[in-house]
Every structure is written in structure tokens, then in C-alpha cells.
Amino acid sequence: MRGAIRYLFPLKTHVDNMREKKQDQPHVKPQYINDLLFFHILKASEKFFSLHF
């Protein structure tokens, strides 16, 4: 499980950065943020599973 934490921790900081950017640019759609987040989680889990299985 420690591998998952390693991939998800930078993701959390990335989400925080995206939130700050979103406040700077109100025209960025929240749906875009959600799609980006989903994509990152998908990629991280792919990487995680390919390493461990």
C-alpha cells in the first residue's frame, strides 16, 4: 500500500495547485479539474498495478 501513497501524495499537491490556479482563473471549469483528476488517478493506479502484479 505504501506505493499507492507515493503516487497519490504528489497528486494531492497537484490538486491543491489546481485549486489555487482555479481561484486565479475563475473561467476554468470545475468539470475540467474533475476530468484531469480522474485521468491522474487512472494513470497512477495503472502504474501502481503494473509494478505490483
Q: How many domains does the chain have?
A: 1
Q: What is the pLDDT of residues 10-22, one digit of tens each?
A: 666 666 766 666 5
Q: How many CA atoms lie within 13 A of 39 on its CB side?
A: 7
* Sequential DSSP letters for 2-52: HHHHHHHHHHHHHHHHHHHHHHH-TTS-HHHHHHHHHHHHHHHHHHHHHHH
- Residues 2-53: pLDDT tens digits? 555 555 566 666 667 666 665 666 565 667 777 878 888 888 888 877 776 5
Whether pTM exceeds 0.75: no
Range of the domain at 11: 2-52
Tell me the C-alpha distance between 33 and 53, whole Å.
30
Q: What's the distance, CA 33 to chain centroid?
A: 9
